[in-house]
Chains A and B, each alone.
Chain A
Amino acid sequence: MALMVVKFDLKKRVKLAQTVWFMYWFAVLAGILVLSLGLFFKIELRKRSELMDNNESHFLPNLLILMGLIACGINAFGGKVCYDSLDPVKFAKWKPMLKYFLVFCVCFNGLLLMTSLLCFLMRIPLQFTLAEGIKNGMKFYKDTDTPGRCYMKRTLDLMQMEFRCCGNDNFRDWFEIQWVSNRYLDFSSKEVKDRIGSNVDGQYLMDGVPFSCCNPSSPRPCIQYQMTNNSAHYSYDHYTEELNVWKKGCRDALLSYYGGIMNTIGALVVLVTMLEVAVTVGLQYVNSSLSTLANPEEVESESEGYLLEKTVKETFTDIMAKMKAMGKGGKVEEGGEEAVATVS
């Protein structure tokens, strides 16, 4: 007893084939969309790979690109099959491989759904990558004369200005590292000697931040140095001062930026999956309605289209039986000899 049977006469079949053909062209566009989303995400990751220690995982964008390409391919093929389905001669050459094609489509749709799930989950490893990357980036802020790291200062400054953030968790991260290069420190001055002597590693630590942390919305000119010293600045209380520097940490800022991109991509991939499922169902109906024609030559006759030839349970047991048979195929030799021996 077939699943979800629908009766089709010639007019309905033609209409179905045309609709599914039209939907396949939309699905090709959707495949191109997925491909371009994957490319966009890959480019965004590469743009800031310095801040992620150059070891960010490109698995997700590569997967999206691959899925986009496969989607374009199978949707174009499906569209061609639908186009030919109205002509019995042309359809006859596609008929044998259609069953395997439909099974492949179902598997592909499952993979697409998994990809969209991954998009939402990739946030978690990204968080750790970013934390490590920004911390190391800040350490190399002062190394503008070291080859390979000389652009870290500019990258960090531009990032803090663009994303309106300061430091890793907050601006105090800058207090814990030396971000002024030794080339610009007067080691004979008392202040420098005091600061270097004040910690174990002999680093020039100060309670100041780079200019890129400054918030333009502050009503007073930016206070970058001696931030914890209230008496160093007139009418200044560092506990209540809110608008002077950016309060957000750059890890959170970048995470919400990339998280937004990934959520959007995930949502779009879910929509594309739904479209793919719809066209697969449509193609199954086209296929089944044409194969149940009593007389293939008589195109005008009625036929039935179904989703599955038998019920879900029977189809499942069929598949299990086939798989068991294939598994036993290796053991057929021994069994056959024994059977022959017993018979004779």
Chain B
Amino acid sequence: MVLLKMKFNQQRRVRLAQGLWLLSWLAVMCGAFIFCLGVYLKTELLRRDEVEKESFMDIHVVPNILMMVGLASIGTNWVATRVCQDSLDASRFPRWKVLLLAWFVVAALLCCLLLAVVVLSYVLQGRLEESLKVGLRNGIRFYKDTDVPGRCFQKETIDRLQMEFRCCGNNNFKDWFEVQWVSGRFLDYTAQEVKDRIRSNVDGRYLLDGVPFSCCNPASPRPCLQYHLTDNRAHFNYDYLSEDLNLYSRGCRQALTDYYMGLMNSTGPGVLSVILIQVGNFHLRYLQTAVEGAMALEDPEGDSEGYILEKGVKETFEEVKVKVLTMMKLAQVDPEGVPVDAEAEKAADTTAEKAASPTPAS
């Protein structure tokens, strides 16, 4: 009892081969697209390497898988185009027969990997936020260390990040109030103001209610107020509680997370449509069976049948299980040759019985 049987005459076979050939080329381009997408995501992630903690490697799994799958799918779909091209030529088709089973397995694996990527990109959002929080906190802490090797570019990185993503601080601009972001080299320790501020906290840090210039919002109608932000009297016509355009109100962690999630989400539909095209390619099975059936006939141009599975799902599954078990048993160095022979005898008996049973009727 075959699964999903369809009749094919010569014209339908030719049409099927042509259609599948086109679809396979489309799938090759989709594979290239997936590869480029992976490369693009990886470069975007690497650009912000400084504000991402090392354990961040986990999110790099997504672009790595995309690149691998892209390359693999280019290869497999190119093979599919060759198969389609040769399928109508009886002399060249048989050499592909061996490869086709492997092809189906690889194509199914690729589809599963693509699905896994889509799921992963949503699941890893939590890890991303966590590592951004740690990375940004360090960046803000080391902002003033422009003379320490290994940290001297943190200031420039954080400034450019805040300007590009229009954000300030980790959660909001008040994060800058808790950190000494002015280097000791530029502080006059003999000044009364500096001495006051340093004494005002346990760790002896120069804390102030001010932010760096990169937090300034260009859309504000007044020139940017960076220092004495909580002191209404320090500036004319200024109310700290109602002023909302002076600095960027968004935190950089939120801004970066939104940006990366936007990237991942925009790749989602693309990947899903590629999965659909890949699944469409599985119609190659129909072509394979129809062509094989036609070659078995005396008239190669005649009608033949195409199907997905030769027997029902359950029977095919049983057959595969038996095959795998026999392969495993052959691989084992089995001192008892008897059980294997006994099984072979049993199989011979059952086939003999089956052959014997119709004869009384005839």
Size category of the binding interface on chain A: 20 to 34
A283 interface residue (CB < 8 Å to B): no
A145 interface residue (CB < 8 Å to B): yes
A181 interface residue (CB < 8 Å to B): yes
A216 to B215, CA, bound (A): 12
Which residue of A181, A186, A219, A224 contacts B155 across the interface (Cβ within 8 Å)?
Answer: A219
A323 to B169, CA, bound (A): 78
Which residue of A158, A211, A217 contacts B213 across the interface (Cβ within 8 Å)?
Answer: A211
A185 interface residue (CB < 8 Å to B): yes
Which residue of A189, A210, A219, A233 contacts B223 across the interface (Cβ within 8 Å)?
Answer: A210
Please name all residues of chain A whose beta carbon is closer than 8 Å to the beta carbon of B191 when the two chains form the complex: 234
A39 to B146, CA, bound (A): 45
B204 interface residue (CB < 8 Å to A): no
Distance to closest chain B CB from A227 (angstroms): 14
Which residue of A212, A214, A217, A224 contacts B218 across the interface (Cβ within 8 Å)?
Answer: A212
Contact status B222-A184, CB under 8 Å: yes
Contact status B186-A234, CB under 8 Å: yes
Please name all residues of chain B whose beta carbon is closer than 8 Å to the beta carbon of A190 when the two chains form the complex: none
Subset of 29 A-B contacts with CB under 8 Å:
A144-B221, A144-B222, A145-B221, A150-B221, A154-B218, A157-B218, A158-B218, A161-B163, A180-B222, A183-B237, A184-B235, A184-B237, A186-B237, A210-B224, A211-B216, A212-B218, A214-B213, A219-B146, A219-B147, A219-B155, A220-B185, A220-B186, A221-B182, A221-B213, A222-B212, A224-B213, A234-B188, A235-B185, A235-B188
A235 to B185, CA, bound (A): 8
Binding site for A on B (CB under 8 A): 146-147, 152, 155-156, 159-160, 163, 181-183, 185-188, 191, 212-214, 216, 218-219, 221-224, 226, 235-237
A189 to B234, CA, bound (A): 12
A135 interface residue (CB < 8 Å to B): no
Secondary structure dominating the interface of B: loop
Among residues of B, the one whose C-beta sits closest to the C-beta of A187 is: B236
Binding site for B on A (CB under 8 A): 144-145, 150, 153-154, 157-158, 161, 179-181, 183-186, 189, 210-212, 214, 216-217, 219-222, 224, 233-235
Which residue of B181, B214, B224 contacts A216 across the interface (Cβ within 8 Å)?
Answer: B214
Distance to closest chain A CB from B185 (angstroms): 7
Contact status B223-A216, CB under 8 Å: no
Residue from B160, B213, B219, B224 having most chain A Cβ neighbours under 10 A: B213
Contact status B222-A216, CB under 8 Å: no
Q: A216-B163, A234-B186 are in contact. List 12 more A-B contacts (CB 8 A).
A: A161-B163, A184-B235, A184-B236, A186-B236, A211-B224, A211-B226, A216-B155, A216-B160, A216-B214, A217-B156, A219-B146, A222-B213
The 9 A-B residue pairs with the shortest CB-CB distance, nearest first, are A216-B159, A157-B218, A144-B221, A219-B146, A234-B188, A186-B236, A211-B224, A222-B213, A211-B213
Distance to closest chain B CB from A179 (angstroms): 7
Contact status A221-B223, CB under 8 Å: no
